[in-house]
């Protein structure tokens, strides 16, 4: 039975210690009395003595980690013993991994592709091997290329190469056996479970990037300078999902796959045609009414978000919108959008459906007058023809600039939208 | 198809070119009357006479410079260095004059010489007789460097070398001289600068040349049988000009590379290859480029230990396993 | 009798005027007047070219940059040697020399414009700007360079002779070297090969007394040309101030080579007024007096001038005209060089391989160049 060595109390006032440096490594033979590591307390840096003999089986805290007193640092035992990371005494058992969400367009809110949603197995995983440097993944150039092509998150792949390097075989294995997420109604977002016993993250200062700075400025401007009205509406997603399935089945051979968001973008464009007052901008002494509906959609990136624009969406078919959205979404993730591609929108759609959010409010992108926040489709009991049945609902929330149009107009817009999405064949004509 | 030795293949190439072109002259120490220190030129004097097969005194700088000068007027000398190790006493003639005269004259002159001879260790002849200077030679723009591994390659490449209008340095191997191989009787040439995949494989590419090709093929058999590793062996055949496209295609296929060379490590041929492979095939590498070279010391005399200093099939096997990790 | 300028008294008092009048040697007696004037003219053209290139080296061009970089080994004072030897060349005779090659280049008939342009590193240079001062070549005039490594050209010259013999051509190769080169191993190897194989080469030692800054006395044991005896070759020696004397001796050795296919060594004693190269300050190993002595008493151009004046072949006026033309020619060469363009970076990798310069006829494959 392996012996766990916890962070000891090394001073009377100590609450946490920083593991400065390991003096032994996994696999080393330890004698009683050997020094295992250097630990920094609030008072001084001390050496951690082992009272046990054996082989150092597993290290749970990487160098530099801050560990609370009593939390396990490492395990010593017989060589070859398998050690499961013990439940930490302090942190919560599952912490959502910060997974970069794929472009809302690429992944349908209803049927997430397994590869784009790397989830961690439900069983408590073994503590990962310590990375040689914090925050850097060891991976061969080929494996990195393959992972990018297959949209596999390398931070969650175990490397079988020397020093824990991820190689091609590991990527192919991750592709073959991704943890299954259930296809079906509603997105089942299983956040990853982080089992590291260490701190929530490396404590450090991250300089504000240009993109982050711009987002911060614009969001602040938008929320402080626009008088907001929020309207939400719940709609029956059944017909939309059915039409989508029907179309996708028929177009499968041509490699076409329409997403729910493609329909929503089209529906917004059509709704803007019906309630054009929403397709406008406040210009102090004028309200500019836009002739075209250039519908933008939000795409999350590694450290921010961007809104590529589908120009003249009111003139395009769902298929055209879908193709363009996919291509723009890909470019957005690769940071290859040119300004012409992410400026000039007149309306915006933000979709957190694939993240499992049922409903939310979004911040308007000036100089737009509105933004639509789209939630996930939820399977729940609904009333149909006086009966309680299982239905699928979709909630959307419109944020409105009350200077440009009033609540009633917003309500009209949402009404039009609901009509279109509940009779989605209207989008095909 | 007849089987002849590597030595005979070279001899046949010389004889054919001597017959074909009256400007070809074979020159070197002991090439004529002694019939060649390693019997490569055996019998040529009897066939072609002393004007075509010329014994020289021991003066490499003298006779190689003479050959270079004569080539400026149209002679095509094929000069033998008894050991390529002796190139250093004629360095100025080989790598200043032959290599540069065309350039320094603004292209008015060319030197269609061939210098040939064995360049190898493994025969216990000590540190000054065991040099493999293909890397030093190939470092000079203006020259061509060829290192054949088989009888078939030796014959075809030597004929091309003699017909080539630039200086060509042809590096043979005393241990390979006795190796037999199938060589067609009908005339053929192999162009310089064309590599040869001697064994097709899937898991790892060995890039190599010269005697290390033979070691690599032996190792590949064992690796397939005992370890289930499928090794592709790319024989460069010519160092300069270099058929890098063949190397690249192989690396892109297998994603793993081991360079095997009978070279001391620093600034060897493999060093240049490694730069080029990581530069042009970076995204195709599933692991770092590995290289098996001669152990970095002057050539040791002691026979069994010299075998271990040089690449050999056992060392190649170990190196492949390490590269596959 | 023709005028005798006062300077001739100096010439007379030096050893320039010998008991033997080499003008009477058959090879010289057979020269016509125009041919004699041509010898003089060639020497003066060399002299003015060298002076003009020195001026160019020391000055700057219009943009403030250097005209000539690297080495410049001037032939001033040695003109009679190159002119005398090269004037004896037949159509199957060949010349090769070391880096003090401007004199030989002009003596075999190269146009001075590309020669100056080559010094300036321009694409119009005789080696397309790729060789510089030490690497003049003219295969069409049987001139094979221009070589930088001391003694390295001697085996090459021996090879030229070998080729002539192999091809059954009746001719000789003249392989020039300086007094410093005679101690190089390659030279001895070449002597041995030439004598062993009966090659038609004349090894010409231009002995100007100094290998860079080291005098002959401090460099070489024994007499320079006499070493030929060790290799079973004959040798000769003469002074190099009188072009007729040079011709008289060289003719004998060239005949030996052409007719009997035997090599030999000739030592021609001459002098250079300038340092080893333009960078040589020249004051550590000889005195100004020594240089002046030579210039006043043994200058080959003065010797020739006075001989030709005495022979009535030249007049002062004609001599002046020839000199003026020589200066103008040198000036014009400098203007040509100045106005010519440099090679471009795209030219760097041309003229490396015959095959890369003749891509349509290339038989090899693969990469010839790397980056």
**A112, pLDDT greater than 60:** no
Considering only the beta carbons, identify the residue of C131, C189, C363 that sits closest to B160.
Answer: C363
Cα B140–chain centre separation: 16
B7, B40, B79, B212, B227 from B30: Cα distances, Å? 16, 11, 11, 28, 48
For residue C138, what is the DSSP state?
Answer: B
Return residue ranges of chain B for CATH 3.40.50.920.
196-324
Per-residue pLDDT tens over the stretch C230-285: 999 999 999 999 999 999 999 999 999 999 999 999 999 999 988 888 777 777 88
Average pLDDT of A342-358?
Answer: 92
**A181, pLDDT greater than 60:** no
Return residue ranges of chain B for CATH 3.40.50.970.
3-182
Q: What is the CA radius of gyration of chain A?
A: 26
The CATH architecture annotation of domain A3-77 reads: Beta Barrel (2.40)
pLDDT value, residue A17: 83
Per-residue pLDDT tens over the stretch C330-367: 999 999 999 999 999 999 999 999 999 999 999 999 99
Per-residue pLDDT tens over the stretch C98-114: 999 999 999 999 999 99
Between CA C241 and CA C245, with CA C242 as vertex, the angle to 5 degrees is 120
Lowest-confidence region among A252-261, C3-12, C14-23, C243-252: C3-12
Q: What is the CATH number of domain B196-324?
A: 3.40.50.920
Taking the CA of residue B225 and the nearest CA in chain A, the distance in Å comes to 22
pLDDT mean values, one per 10 residues, chain B (325 residues) = 96 98 98 96 98 97 98 98 97 97 97 98 95 98 98 98 98 97 97 98 98 98 98 98 98 97 98 97 95 97 95 98 94
Q: Is the CB of A142 less than 8 angstroms away from the CB of B283?
A: yes
Query: Which of B92, B106, B109 to mutate against chain C (most C CBs within 10 Å)?
Result: B106
> Is residue C14 within 8 angstroms of chain B, CB to CB?
no
**Euclidean distance between CA atoms B271 and B289, whole angstroms:** 10
**C123, pLDDT greater than 80:** yes
Which chains reach chain C with 3 or more Cβ–Cβ distances below 8 angstroms? B
Q: Are B144 and B191 in contact (CB under 8 A)?
A: no
Q: Is the CB of B103 less than 8 angstroms away from the CB of C94?
A: no
**C370, pLDDT greater than 50:** yes
* pLDDT-derived band at A189, boundaries 50, 70, 90: low
**Euclidean distance between CA atoms C8 and C305, whole angstroms:** 10
* pLDDT-derived band at A69, boundaries 50, 70, 90: confident
A110, A310, B28, B158 from B117: Cα distances, Å? 73, 71, 10, 11
> Is residue A146 within 8 angstroms of chain B, CB to CB?
no
* pLDDT-derived band at A13, boundaries 50, 70, 90: low
Taking the CA of residue C355 and the nearest CA in chain B, the distance in Å comes to 7
Q: Are C75 and C82 in contact (CB under 8 A)?
A: yes
Mark whether A402 is an active-site residue. yes
Per-residue pLDDT tens over the stretch A91-106: 443 333 333 444 444 3
**A166, pLDDT greater than 80:** yes
Task: List CB contacts (< 8 A) between B287 and chain A.
Answer: 140, 161, 165, 167
pLDDT value, residue C233: 98
SS3 per-residue string spanning B77-108: EEEECCCHHHHHHHHHHHHHHHHHHHHHCCCC
A210-428 to CATH, choices 3.30.559.10, 1.10.287.370, 3.30.360.10, 1.10.240.10? 3.30.559.10
Task: List CB contacts (< 8 A) between B106 and chain C.
Answer: 125-131, 137, 351
Q: Is 3.40.50.2300 the CATH classification of the domain at B3-182?
A: no
Residue A6 neighbours by CB distance under 10 Å = 17
Query: Which of A141, A157, A164 to mutate against chain B (most B CBs within 10 Å)?
Result: A141
**Which CATH class for the C7-12+36-278+288-339 domain?**
alpha beta
Chains A and B form CB pairs within 8 A to the count of 25
Taking the CA of residue C95 and the nearest CA in chain B, the distance in Å comes to 11
Range 105-134 of C in CB contact (< 8 A) with B = 125-131
Q: What is the CA radius of gyration of chain B?
A: 19
Closest-CA residue in chain B for A162? B325
Domain boundaries, chain A: 3-77, 123-176, 210-428
pLDDT value, residue A235: 95
Q: Among residues B8, B17, B29, B60, which one is catalytic?
A: B60
DSSP states of C265-300? EEEEE---SS-SSTT----SS--HHHHHHHHHHT-H
**A352, pLDDT greater than 80:** yes
Considering only the beta carbons, identify the residue of B283, B284, B287 that sits closest to A161.
Answer: B287
* pLDDT-derived band at A339, boundaries 50, 70, 90: confident
For residue A279, what is the DSSP state?
Answer: S
Residue B254 neighbours by CB distance under 10 Å = 18
Percent of chain C clearing pLDDT 90 (strictly above): 83
Q: What is the CA radius of gyration of chain C?
A: 21
H or E element that contains B316: helix B313-324
Percent of chain A clearing pLDDT 70 (strictly above): 81
> Is residue C360 within 8 angstroms of chain B, CB to CB?
no
Taking the CA of residue B278 and the nearest CA in chain A, the distance in Å comes to 10
Tokens of A378: 């939820």
**C2, pLDDT greater than 70:** no
Domain boundaries, chain C: 7-12+36-278+288-339
Q: Are C301 and C44 in contact (CB under 8 A)?
A: yes
Task: List CB contacts (< 8 A) between C166 and chain B.
Answer: 25, 51, 70, 75
**Which CATH class for the A123-176 domain?**
few secondary structures
**Euclidean distance between CA atoms C146 and B49, whole angstroms:** 35
> Is residue A143 within 8 angstroms of chain B, CB to CB?
yes
**A128, pLDDT greater than 80:** no
* pLDDT-derived band at A268, boundaries 50, 70, 90: very high
pLDDT value, residue A12: 57
Per-residue pLDDT tens over the stretch A200-222: 887 888 888 878 888 899 999 99
Which chains reach chain A with 3 or more Cβ–Cβ distances below 8 angstroms? B
**A41, pLDDT greater than 80:** no
pLDDT value, residue A194: 52
pLDDT value, residue C89: 98
Q: Which residue has the higher pLDDT, A296 or A203?
A: A296
Per-residue pLDDT tens over the stretch C206-235: 999 999 889 999 999 999 999 999 999 999
**C140, pLDDT greater than 90:** yes
pLDDT value, residue A192: 52
ipTM summary value: 0.91
Average pLDDT of A264-269?
Answer: 96
At least 3 CB pairs under 8 A between chains A and C:
no
Query: Which of B241, B269, B271 to mutate against chain C (most C CBs within 10 Å)?
Result: B241
Helix intervals (H) in A253-317: 260-274
Considering Cα of A208, then A214, then A215, then A218, what sign does the dihedral take?
A: positive
Q: Are C97 and C141 in contact (CB under 8 A)?
A: no
> Is residue B202 within 8 angstroms of chain A, CB to CB?
no
């Amino acid at each position: 039975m392996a012996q766990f060595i916890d962070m000891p109390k090394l001073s009377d006032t100590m609450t946490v210690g920083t593991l400065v440096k390991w003096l032994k490594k996994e696999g080393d033979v330890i004698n009683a009395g050997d020094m295992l590591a250097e630990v920094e307390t609030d008072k001084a840096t001390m050496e951690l003595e082992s009272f046990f003999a054996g082989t150092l089986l597993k290290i749970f805290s990487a160098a530099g980690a801050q560990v609370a007193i009593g939390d396990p640092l490492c395990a010593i035992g017989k060589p070859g013993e398998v050690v499961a990371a013990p439940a930490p005494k302090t942190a919560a058992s599952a912490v959502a991994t910060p997974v970069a969400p794929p472009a809302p367009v690429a992944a349908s809110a209803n049927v997430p592709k397994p590869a784009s949603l790397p989830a961690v197995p439900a069983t408590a995983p073994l503590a990962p091997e310590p990375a040689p440097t914090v925050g850097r993944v060891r991976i061969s150039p080929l494996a990195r290329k393959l992972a990018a092509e297959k949209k596999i998150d390398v931070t969650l792949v175990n490397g079988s190469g020397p020093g824990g390097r991820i190689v091609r075989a590991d990527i192919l294995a991750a592709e073959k056996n991704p943890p299954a997420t259930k296809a079906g109604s509603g997105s089942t977002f299983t956040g990853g479970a982080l089992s590291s016993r260490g701190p929530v993250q490396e404590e450090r200062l991250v300089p504000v990037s240009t993109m982050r700075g711009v987002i911060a400025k614009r969001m602040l401007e938008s929320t402080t300078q626009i008088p907001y009205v929020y309207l939400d509406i719940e709609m029956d997603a059944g017909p939309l999902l059915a039409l989508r399935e029907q179309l996708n089945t028929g177009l499968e051979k041509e490699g076409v796959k329409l997403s729910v968001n493609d329909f929503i973008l089209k529906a917004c464009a059509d709704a803007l045609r019906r309630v054009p007052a929403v397709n406008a901008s406040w210009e102090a002494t004028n309200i500019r009414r836009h002739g075209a509906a250039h519908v933008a959609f939000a795409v999350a990136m590694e450290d921010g978000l961007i809104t590529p624009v589908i120009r003249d969406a009111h003139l395009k078919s769902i298929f055209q919108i879908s193709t363009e959205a996919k291509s723009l979404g890909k470019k957005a993730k690769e940071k290859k959008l040119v300004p012409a591609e992410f400026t000039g929108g007149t309306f915006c759609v933000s979709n957190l459906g694939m993240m499992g959010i049922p409903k939310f409010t979004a911040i308007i992108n000036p100089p737009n007058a509105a933004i639509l926040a789209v939630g996930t489709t939820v399977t729940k009991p609904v009333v149909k023809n006086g009966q309680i049945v299982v239905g699928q609902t979709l909630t959307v929330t419109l944020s409105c600039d009350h200077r440009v149009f009033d609540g009633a107009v917003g309500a009209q817009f949402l009404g039009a939208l609901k009509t279109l999405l509940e009779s989605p064949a209207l989008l095909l004509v | 198809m007849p089987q002849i030795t590597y030595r005979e293949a070279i001899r046949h190439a010389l004889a054919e070119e001597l017959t074909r072109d009256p400007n070809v002259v074979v020159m070197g120490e002991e090439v004529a009357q002694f019939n060649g220190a390693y019997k490569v030129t055996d019998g040529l004097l009897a066939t072609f006479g002393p004007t075509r097969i010329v014994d020289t005194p021991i003066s490499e700088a003298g006779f190689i410079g003479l050959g270079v000068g004569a080539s400026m007027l149209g002679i095509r000398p094929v000069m033998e260095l008894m050991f390529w190790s002796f190139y250093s006493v004629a360095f100025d003639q080989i790598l200043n004059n032959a290599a540069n005269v065309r350039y320094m004259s603004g292209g008015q002159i060319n030197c269609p010489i061939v210098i040939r001879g064995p360049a190898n260790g493994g025969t216990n002849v000590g540190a000054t007789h065991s040099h493999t200077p293909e890397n030093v030679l190939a470092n000079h723009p203006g020259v061509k460097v060829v290192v054949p591994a088989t009888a078939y390659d030796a014959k075809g490449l030597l004929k091309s070398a003699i017909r080539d209008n630039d200086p060509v340095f042809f590096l043979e191997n005393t241990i390979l001289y006795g190796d037999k191989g199938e060589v067609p009787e009908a005339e053929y040439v192999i162009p310089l600068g064309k590599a040869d995949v001697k064994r097709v494989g899937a898991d790892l590419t060995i890039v190599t040349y010269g005697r290390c090709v033979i070691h690599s093929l032996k190792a590949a058999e064992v690796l397939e049988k005992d370890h289930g590793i499928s090794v592709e062996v790319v024989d460069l055949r010519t160092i300069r000009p270099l058929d890098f496209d063949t190397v690249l295609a192989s690396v892109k296929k297998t994603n793993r590379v081991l360079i095997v060379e009978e070279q001391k490590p620093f600034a060897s041929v493999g060093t240049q290859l490694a730069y080029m492979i990581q530069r042009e095939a970076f995204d195709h590498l599933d692991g770092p480029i590995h290289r098996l070279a001669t152990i970095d010391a002057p050539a040791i005399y002691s026979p069994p230990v010299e075998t271990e200093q040089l690449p050999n099939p056992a060392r190649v096997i170990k190196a492949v396993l390490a590269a596959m990790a | 009798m023709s005028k005798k300028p006062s300077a001739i008294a100096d010439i007379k008092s030096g050893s320039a005027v010998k008991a033997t009048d080499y003008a009477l040697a058959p090879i010289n007696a057979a020269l016509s007047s125009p041919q004699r004037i041509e010898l003089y003219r060639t020497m003066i053209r060399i002299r003015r070219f060298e002076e003009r290139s020195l001026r160019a080296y020391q000055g700057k061009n219009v943009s403030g940059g250097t005209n000539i970089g690297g080495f410049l080994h001037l032939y001033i004072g040695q003109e009679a040697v190159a002119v005398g030897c090269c004037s004896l060349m037949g159509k199957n005779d060949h010349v090769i020399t070391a880096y003090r090659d401007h004199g030989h280049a002009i003596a075999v008939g190269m146009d001075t414009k590309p020669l100056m342009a080559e010094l300036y590193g321009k694409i119009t240079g005789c080696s397309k700007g790729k060789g510089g001062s030490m690497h003049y070549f003219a295969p069409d005039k049987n001139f094979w360079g221009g070589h930088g490594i001391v003694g390295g050209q001697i085996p090459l010259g021996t090879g030229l002779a070998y080729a002539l013999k192999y091809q059954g051509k009746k001719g000789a190769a003249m392989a020039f070297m300086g007094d410093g080169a005679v101690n190089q191993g390659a030279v001895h190897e070449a002597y041995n090969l030439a004598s062993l194989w009966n090659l038609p080469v004349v090894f010409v030692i231009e002995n100007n007394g100094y290998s860079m800054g080291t005098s002959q006395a401090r460099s070489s044991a024994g007499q320079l040309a006499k070493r030929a005896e060790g290799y079973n070759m004959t040798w000769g020696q003469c002074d190099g101030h009188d072009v007729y004397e040079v011709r008289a001796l060289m003719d004998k050795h060239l005949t030996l080579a052409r007719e009997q296919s035997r090599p030999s060594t000739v030592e021609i004693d001459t002098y250079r007024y300038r340092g080893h190269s333009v960078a040589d300050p020249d004051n550590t190993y000889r005195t100004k007096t020594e240089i002046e002595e030579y210039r006043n008493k043994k200058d080959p151009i003065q010797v020739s001038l006075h001989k030709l004046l005495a022979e009535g072949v030249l007049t002062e006026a004609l001599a002046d005209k020839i000199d003026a033309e020589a200066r103008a020619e040198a000036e014009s060469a400098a203007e040509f060089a100045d106005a010519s363009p440099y090679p471009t970076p795209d030219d760097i990798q041309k003229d490396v391989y015959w095959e890369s310069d003749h891509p349509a006829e290339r038989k090899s494959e693969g990469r010839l160049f790397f980056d």
